[in-house]
Amino acid sequence: MKDDQVARLHERLAARAELCPVTFGEGRRFELWDLASLAEGALGVCVDPESLTVSSEKRWRLRLGSEGREHRHDDDFRRRYWICSPGGGRGGPMGTIAVDTWPVGVGAVRISSLYVHPVARRQGLASAALDMVYDACRAEGLHGFRLDTYWTWQPTVRYYLGRGLWVTSWKHALGLARLSYLPRYEVRENEEGEVTFLVADTEGQLVPLLVAGSDGGRLRLRETERYRRMREERDAVRVYARSTLALHLAVRGRPLVRGEEEWAKAHWSCDIGEPEGLAYKIGVFERVAREGDGGWRVRTAVFRPCDADARKFGCGPGREFG
């Protein structure tokens, strides 16, 4: 039944003037746009996908290492679309997006290859494409979409957080989602530097769940009474509120570690959960990015403790753990 739902979802997307399905013979061109997206995210270099030659493509793939390899056999697993101008496909593609052909998790679809050409940005094209996928999901009885991105791709991470996506995983990469059972949220910072995570209740009113501050270079996390009333351990809002706030703190360069006891248990949350788990995985993500055969650029706003605190937490001097 859910496969039929996803098939109808793609019928809805293909009918939109702003999304043009990639046709037979265009796969190669789409792969070059994927390569440009990877080069910008991993290396911070803008590449015009329409100007890539055979020799320049090879150079970029060699520079990107294993991540720059072509993946040509995924047409059965996802449908690929060109993002076009709001008036339709006139003037050529302005971006790309791909949507899987089967559901993941509980009634959601996975998105990948979201990219907008540099000259077409700041027009709301990516946001409109995400909204179209979400609306099509809801129209077919699905909860919404999930996507992955890399911690070191900071502009992308900040974009998705700005769009209000929830953080649902950091197992292999940062997993984010827009799902109907996760309400709208806001993150507010006051003059004292405290960061509050609020969610919309059934009446649309924003209520605070978690408040984060810093004390001597360590995280101070306070749960509100509303949050404490969420007794079910598997309540999605309860779990994902902590992880989503943690990522918002991380991109602000705020501490993620509360103390030695919590840091000792950080590996327990290496898939999702406590802010220390994200701190632990950030170290892994950045190490892999630096040491991989492509040598990705690592330029993030992660809090750096003093050397004394770093040694307390079992880290080397200057280790970016939170």
Q: Which residues contact 149 (CB under 8 A, 6 or more apart)?
A: 156, 157, 160, 173, 174, 176
Domain boundaries, the chain: 2-144, 185-312
Helix, strand, coil tally for the chain in percent (to 5): 40, 20, 40
Residue 300 pLDDT > 50: yes
d(CA 203, CA 77): 39
pLDDT band at residue 295 under the 50/70/90 scheme: confident
Report DSSP state, residue 22: P
pLDDT at 317: 32
- Specify whether the CB–CB gap between 106 and 182 falls below 8 A: no
Q: Read off the pLDDT of each residue in 11-29 and give the average, rounded to a whole number.
A: 94
- Confirm whether pTM is higher than 0.85: yes
State the chain's mean pLDDT as an integer. 88
Which residue carries 């190669």 as its tokens?
Answer: 28
Token representation of residue 121: 């940005």
pLDDT at 77: 87
User: 2-144: which CATH architecture?
Assistant: 3-Layer(aba) Sandwich (3.40)
Q: Read off the pLDDT of each residue in 117-136 and give the average, rounded to a whole number.
A: 96
**For 174-222, what is each residue's pLDDT tens digit?**
999 999 999 999 999 999 899 999 999 989 899 999 999 998 899 999 9
209: exposed, middle or buried (C-beta count within 10 Å: 0-12, 13-18, 19+)?
buried
